[in-house]
Amino acid sequence: MKLPSIKSLLGRKEIKEHDVYDFRDHPNAVRMSADDQEKIKGILIDLVQMTQSLVKQDNATWRQAWQQAIFVLNPRRLNLLMHYRDAVVDGSLSGLMLQRKLSTIQKVFKITNTAGEEQPEKTKLFKKSWFRQFMYITLDTPYYGHSLIQLGDVIIDENGYRFKNAEVVPREHVMPEFNVIIPYQESLWQNGYDYTVAPFNNWCIPVGEKYDLGLLLKCVPECISIRHMGAFWDKFAELFGMPIRIGKTSSRDPKERSKISDMLSKMGSAAWGLFPDGTEIDIKESTRTDSWMVFDKRIERSENRLAYIILTESMTMKQGSSRSQGEVHNDQKDLVTKSDADMLAEVTNEYLIPLMIRHGFPLEKGDTFVFDDSKQYSPEELAALLTALMGEFDIDENYINKIVQIPVKKKAVQTPKPNTFFPTNFFD
């Protein structure tokens, strides 16, 4: 039986019988009394998605959430995921995460057979929007530690086979330590449903280590610091960024003083004001010109640490580094990209392709998803390479057509024309 879209059922008050799989028939389901079954009839898999609260997060609550997530008897990641949600709003962190993911997603891939030969028609099965969604979710796993991916309906049309979509099961409802999905965020894991057995394992793919909390665990303190430093800097600018305006008057009349105070407060960015006779206005400029650096340097330090956590280096995101330093850090970034690509290929080959075969996709045992790691040349490098090779070797024109994607053929050999101006025996 087709597993319903778990995410599509979130927050629904009523679920029709034909919409859902009756989990009471599941072999791992907890047996309940008739009264309890009546109470929860129709909503056994309705994962109630609570409104996400945007509360103030700090290091103390982060440590508490961390402790809750590693509690052996009943681990809870809910509060930790709230910290993660706040952290990924940070522009520096989200940019680093996107850069790392794009480095893998833009790589060329193909499907090969047991002989290592590319299968173009089978490769086309993966060049669809659902697989791009699958790649994005899979590559999110290093940050969160674990992802449970649910695939949509199988669609067969003139474009061939494809899944409708790929989406992540809300992490608040997944307890990877016990391989279960829980219907409510507060549910015990004993009341959850094992996603490693049918019907779940025909539509869901777990990715990542069950006890891994992800790189975001290390990023949260830096994002909290950045957020606080930004708020402190705004307060500092509010207090000391503008010159202080001081009004002096010899009048003791409370009405006059109130009028001066009101005028000073309403001046805003205007450089004028109408004051009573005898009033002096003094502008006090800030004497410190580098006070802002304490905030800027702290934010910069946190952003560098985020780069080290996500990319294991920082110079590819910064300007001003030397070429030699940049090349070393770029090599380190390539190692991270290769690691992500290997993870994606392993998940695709070990879980996704066998699942696709079970659903009737035109694939067979031995088909393998691989990335094309051959060196990619720039147009200038390719032209120089072909010129050098053609000076010593004969290169198949079909190969050149494939590489440059321009129809080419061998140049015709021109024979010299006979000299008709002078007769052949002119110099005899």
Domain ranges of the chain: 1-241+304-376, 379-410
Average pLDDT over residues 362-388: 82
102-111, 377-386, 391-400, range with greatest mean pLDDT = 102-111
In sequence order, what are the residues at sequence separation of 6 or more whose Cβ sits closer than 8 angstroms to the Cβ of residue 27? 197
**Reported pTM:** 0.71
Rounded CA-CA distance 12/40 in Å is 13
Rounded CA-CA distance 6/354 in Å is 22
Average pLDDT over residues 389-414: 70
Q: What share of the chain is helix, strand, coil (3-state, %, to 5)?
A: 45, 10, 40
Average pLDDT over residues 275-298: 68
pLDDT on residue 30: 41
Task: In the chain, count H helices and then E strands.
Answer: 13, 12
- Asked if residue 397 lies in contact with residue 387, where contact means CB atoms within 8 angstroms, the answer is no
The rounded mean pLDDT for the chain is 78
- Asked if residue 204 lies in contact with residue 169, where contact means CB atoms within 8 angstroms, the answer is yes
Band the pLDDT of 196: cuts 50, 70, 90: very high
Q: How far are the Cα atoms of 93, 100, 300, 304, 417 from residue 307, in angstroms, in the given order?
A: 8, 10, 11, 5, 69
Does 84 have pLDDT greater than 90?
yes
pLDDT on residue 27: 44
Select from 180, 159, 204, 157 the least CA-distant residue to 47. Answer: 180
Give per-residue pLDDT as tens, 139-168: 999 999 999 999 999 999 988 999 999 999
187 class by beta-carbon count within 10 Å (0-12 exposed, 13-18 middle, 19+ buried): middle
193: number of Cβ within 10 Å: 20
